[in-house]
Structure 1
C-alpha cells in the first residue's frame, strides 16, 4: 500500500483500514460504532471508505501493531474467490450447487468432470468400524468428536490407506464421506423412510442420508434440496484454516484419512466450523425475546461480536448465504427464523454495515428444522471433507514437505547460562 501524506484526502477501503490499524475488518466497524472512526459509503453503495488521516491518527492513539507477516502463497487450481463471487475450477460455485447434487460437485472438484447421478456408498467394514468406535464415546460428545473418531476407525479398516495414487485416494474418499454420515447416531431412531445412511447400496443422495442424523422432523422436498445445496456450497472456500492444515498434512504425505483428521481438528474452533452454532443460539434467543434489538445489544455490551455477520473475503453479502436465503424462502417453516435473521442484519446495519454470511444462513436452516445448535458444524464438516481431499490430491503432486515456514525467533539470544534449579 502506498504511503501518502495525511492531508491528501485519500480514502481507504475497509480492508486497507484494517491492515493499517493491524486489526480485523469487524474491529474497524466496532471503532465506527464507538465514534472513534467515521465512515462514508463507497461509490455505488458497496462497502465503506475511511479517511486516511483519521485512520493514521487512530493508529497513533491505539498503537499500531507490527504488520503481520506475508501470507504464504499456495498454488491451487481448485477455488478462486474474486469480486464477491467464488468459483470451483473456473465455474461459478453457486450455479454448480444450484444445478448439481453434492456428490456431483465433489466429483467436479476432484476430477474436473461431472458425473450426473453419482452416489457415494461405504463398504460394510468401514461403516461397522466407525459405528463401533463412535458408539463407545460418552453420550455428551458432540458431532465433531464423533466424526474425528469415525475417521480414525474408517482408516484402520482400510488397508489401502497408505496408497496415495490418485484412483485409490478417490475410491477411499467416495466411501469415507458416507461412512462418516453412517457413524452419526440417528435422531429419534427413525430414518424417515430413507435408505439407511451410508449402508452399502444406499440409493439416496448424501443429503437424504444426512437429514435423519440432524433432526427427527420429517423431511420434505424443499428442505432436502436446501440441505443438498448447503453441502455443495460448503465443499471448499480457498485456503481456509482447516484446508491449510489439511494441505500441510498432505505435504508430509499423510494418508487421506489423516488429512481429513487434520482438517477436523482445526474446524472445531469457534472461529471456523463452530461459528454457525453461535448464530443458531442467537437466532433462537431473538425468536424467544421477540426481536433482534435486545439480543444484539447484549452481545455488544458483553464485548462479543454479533455472529453470522461479515466475511473478510467479501465486501458484500456472502454468495453462499445469498443462495441459501433464496432457498429458505421456499421452506414455509423457515419463515420465523428467516425473519429473525433479517432483523439481526437490519438492526446491526444502523451503525455497522456488515452483511450476512453463510453461518447465519446455516443457523436459519438448523433453527427452522428443529436441529441442534451444532448441526451447522456437522454439515460444514461432512461437506468440507470433499474439499480437503481435493486439496490433498493437489498437494500430493507437489514437492514433499514444501510447506515448512521458518520461525522468527524472538527469545533470548544465546548463549544463555544454564538455568538454576
Structure 2
C-alpha cells in the first residue's frame, strides 16, 4: 500500500500530487468537504503534521483529480467555519423557539355517559397568574385544540348551553409538549320553571345561584360563541338591509329602499355604542343633527354593566311557542333624560338555547311614544357550533330636533329649550342571506 503524509485537518498529500481528503482509521475525519471546498464539520481526531499512515483505497471524486484539485489548509477551514457558525446558531435558536411555542391542550369533551360527544362547548384555559391563555369551541365530535404560549400550570374551564360549568384545575403543560385531556360534563343546568305570569324580579344575579341566574348564564354562553365567531375573522356574511319610512299617520310608506351588504361578522350591521358609553348616556342620544337610536348588540349584552344594572325575571311563553320561556330584563333606576331598553330574551325551556330578543326604548320624549320604538333580534346556530344574530329589526320615531333659544334685553342668548316633533317612523330590517367560512358556503337563505 502507498504511504502519504498528513497535512493536518482532513487533508493529506501523496507524493507530489495535490492534497486529498483522507479516511484513515487513525485520523477518523468527520468533516465532509464538498466540491467547492467548504467544510461542513471538523474531524473528531486529527493526526499531527508529519505523521505517516496508510491510504485506504477509495473511489476518487472527479473534483479532486488533476491540476485543478482544490487544496484546503487548516486556517482556511477555520475561517469558513466561522462564517457558517452564526447561521447555524440562528437556525438552532429558531428551532428552539418553535419547540417552546409548540405546547398545547387537545382532547375531547363528552357527556355524562362518557361516550356522547359534547359539541359546541367553549374550552378555555387560564394560567397560574389568572391570565387567559385562549379559548376554543369543540367540534361535532367534541374535539378541541387549544395552543398555549408558555408551559406551566393551567385551569381549564368548559362552558356549554344546558350544562353547569366544568373546571379542571392544576393541569401541567410541559415545554414543547402537548397535553391530552378528556373532560366529562356530568351536571345539567337547572331548567326554568313553567310560569303563567311574570315571576318575581332578581336584581343581583352575578352572585346568585337561582334559576334566573342559571338561565342568564346560558344566554351568556351563546353570546360568547357569537363573539368568538366575530373574533375569528373567518366568516363573511351577506346581509339584506331594508328600510321603510312611514308618514305621520305611522301607516303609509313614504319611502322604501333595499341594498345588499357584504361584511365580516365583526363589522356592525346596526348602530351600537360601547357598553361604557351606554352606561353613561343610555341607548338614545339627542344631537343637533337628530336623535340617534342604538341597539343592544352582543357586546352590550355580554358586558357586566348590562347585567349588573338590570333586574331579571321569567316571562310566560309567547303565543304559538308553548316550549319557550322568557327572561325579562329592565333597569331599576330612572335617570332624567337617559333612555334605556326593557325587553325579553326568549329561550327553549328544554334545551335552554336562545331563540330571540324583543325590546322597547324607555323614557323617550312624550312626542315619540306613539311610534312604539323598539326592536328584535333573532338567534341561529351555525354548523360549527357558533351562535349568531341572523336578523335585526328596529322601529324608531322619525322627528325633528329643534333647539329654541331665549334672549335677554340686550339680545344675548341666556337659555334654550328642546322641542321634538314626530314626523313618522323608520323601520329597518337587516337579514342574513349568505354566510361563508373561509370561502366555503355555510348558509344560504332560500
TM-score by length of 1: 0.26
| Bigger strand fraction | 2
The higher radius of gyration belongs to 2
| Bigger helix fraction | 1
